Chains A and B, each alone.
Chain A
Amino acid sequence: GIQVEQSPPDLILQEGANSTLRCNFSDSVNNLQWFHQNPWGQLINLFYIPSGTKQNGRLSATTVATERYSLLYISSSQTTDSGVYFCAVGGNTPLVFGKGTRLSVIA
């Protein structure tokens, strides 16, 4: 099956800093989603981005499907950005999740 690797596994940032999270996947996909799991356990859908670039406020994402990776950019980080960020991919199958990047933003 599809393998998904996320890096880094942990990230600590000072408030206001920028960061880039990476997701590598092992096979071609036609579904890629980025999620933020908040401290209450809720999975918040950030982007549906099987290819191309999208932006939503301080967050943006780019997927280069031909090279099998996706990047999530967080700019001017805030303490509310803390949590775990998951990349999930799928072909004609249900989503396969990476292990996530745990982000801690310190005031």
Chain B
Amino acid sequence: DSGVTQTPKHLITATGQRVTLRCSPRSGDLSVYWYQQSLDQGLQFLIQYYNGEERAKGNILERFSAQQFPDLHSELNLSSLELGDSALYFCASSQRQGDSNQPQHFGDGTRLSIL
């Protein structure tokens, strides 16, 4: 058990819809990262938050947004969903800002299926 909790585990919805994925980091971790794993793109970094503020952005679509709340949990919002958004979405957390000399701990992921 990594200590990172993601909900829901599975999500099935239709094109054009909007969903919210939730992540609770390990106790004491201030940084939260979101990654997307799709068949064609592999595992890709989307966005990072540290203590409530956005710190880094990767290959995140404009239709996607995220935030980190005062209690440090994070939500990833996906809107105007397309078939290609079907993927496994992972949340990871680490203690401090940046990746210097510290591991990231991954949740079990949310599997999103767009019909």
Residues of A within 8 A of B (CB): 30-31, 33, 35, 41-43, 45, 48, 50, 86, 88, 90-97, 99-100
Contact = CB atoms under 8 A, between A and B. Distances in A.
Contact of A90 (B99, B105, B109): B99
Contacts of A42: 108-109
A31 B101 contact: yes
A41 B112 CA distance: 12
Classify chain B's interface size. 20 to 34
Interface of B: 2, 33, 35, 42-45, 48, 56, 58, 88, 90, 92, 98-106, 108-109, 111
Contacts of B45: 94-96
Given A92-B100, A94-B56, A45 B105 contact: yes
Given A41-B88, A43-B90, A99-B42, A31 B109 contact: no
Contact of B33 (A30, A48, A91, A94): A94
B43 A41 contact: no
A97 B103 contact: no
A43 B109 contact: yes
Contact of B101 (A30, A45, A93, A95): A30
